[in-house]
Amino acid sequence: MAKADIGVYGLGTMGSALALNLADKGFQVAVTNRETDWIESFVAEAQDLQGNLVAKHDLRDFVDAIQTPRTILFMIPSGAPMDAMIETISPLLSEGDTIIDGGNADFNETIRRSKNFAGTGLHFVGMGVSGGEKGARFGPSMMVGGTDHSWAQLRPMAEAIAAKFEGNPCVAHLGPDGAGHFVKTVHNGIEYADMQMIAEIYGMLRDQGGQDAAAIGAVFGDWNTGPLQSYLIEASSAALRAVDEKTKQPVVDVILDKAGSKGTGRWTLIEALKLGQSASTIEAAMGARSWSSEKEMRTEAEALLAETTQAASIPSLSDLHDAMQAGRILGHAQGFRVLQAASDAFEWALDMSKIAEIWRAGCIIRSALLDQLMDAFQSGLPHGHLILAPAMRETLAKTIPALRRVVAAAALSGQPMPALSAALVWYDTMALGRGTANMIQAQRDFFGHHGFARVDATGKHHGDWGEA
């Protein structure tokens, strides 16, 4: 019997979907799982794809069932479980074999693992997979980090199962070690900002505009046919139109306004700070989720905190549309700036145009905007900033006034818009040739470590404050 082209360890939601995707594309797939009782049920449910699945209960048998050099995809929890599996399976592998971590791993850990593999003859890949269960089954966007050798092995299979945009596979080898996982992390951070901005527009239409869920869903549906076309707008429209079977109420109205978060959003913020970059829209989105978790306190606070709002005109649908467009551009620009800073710091040579290209299908943040971003990267960015690209400047010039009106109305009426507000503040900071950082420096110098030093605009010291 011919040996399998690839092995998949871990038959949870994502692992099962990827294994079926590979089998569906004609590859022989060896499969196994820690809980071995999952294996038979998975194969049975595969129906007509069973002929392309090789089920193994024993780890050594699983390894032996894969042709050499082996490619083994692990879809298991990141962290300690991945380290334990590497330690267990490595003695069973041969020179040239590749281990792939397909989970949402901390890229720092991926770098560490890659270094540990150096000189062993084995290869380690960190691969970000976006698109959820449906994407994994029918075409995800995948971001690969690892050696050229491992990419040569993986590429034919990865390109076969990836989402396609105009026939082009949405997968790429982005760089060594942690590059793939870092790009996936920032993808998720941008996703958080995008989701929060959509929620803020929803809140304005609901609370200030008095519109019900179905009406807001119809607005988003209309927007999805223009510049705001995206998977998240489409999904939001569908969610708002969904009706709860039990209560016959809109689903969104019976869901508690209390949202959680995963590690990738937080990791994006941490790494942005380490790299000296602003990710304020992502930080605002993370903060909003954190505040939402204190639901009980917020319920009490409503009756205790003073009412300080003022009457404000309800923004037009046109202004809300343009505010969302401006906010999305600025949120993406921050994310790509973080990617560039990491590329420089870790010497990854990330291709920003390629990243935008492979995000156009399969992934959660796929949108019409990515086509524009890809074109901007290919044309070259003034000072390395997306917002300075001619097309982006033109769009922002048209949409920032609407964002300003929407944020102002929200501030007056007490409608929280943390992400859209953060986007506007960042734009204004970037657009203001003369800022206020000199005052920050003056305070630091006045209360500095070496007395009250006077420093002029050139950085030259002129003695201490109070000296003649």
Of 35, 115, 159, 191, catalytic: 191
Asked if 422 contacts 280 with a C-beta cutoff of 8 angstroms, the reply is: yes
**Termini Cα distance of the chain:** 92
Residue with tokens 């978060």: 261
CA angle 176, 362, 199 (to 5 degrees): 105
User: Alpha helix locations (H) across 204-279?
Assistant: 213-223, 231-241, 263-274
CB atoms under 10 Å from CB of 47, counted, come to 8
What are the beta bridge partners of residue 142? 129, 171
Of 159, 164, 184, 357, catalytic: 184
Q: 126 phi and psi, to 5 degrees?
A: -105, 115
For residue 263 the two structure tokens come to: 């590690």
Cα–Cα distances in angstroms (integers) from residue 229 to residues 87, 237, 369, in the given order: 45, 11, 8
Asked if 395 contacts 325 with a C-beta cutoff of 8 angstroms, the reply is: yes
Asked if 86 contacts 117 with a C-beta cutoff of 8 angstroms, the reply is: no
Pairing state of beta strands 164-165 and 168-169?
antiparallel
- Residue type at position 19: A
191 annotated active-site: yes
Which of 152-191 are b and which e, b meaning 16 or more Cβ less than 10 Å from the residue's Cβ? ebbeebbbbbbbebeeebbbbbbbbbbbbbbbbbbbbbbb
CA 349 to chain centre: 19
Q: Which of 245, 258, 255 is nearest to 213 (CA)?
A: 255
3-state secondary structure of 101: strand
184 annotated active-site: yes
**Whole-angstrom Cα distance, residue 3 to residue 371?**
41
- Catalytically active residues, by annotation: 184, 191
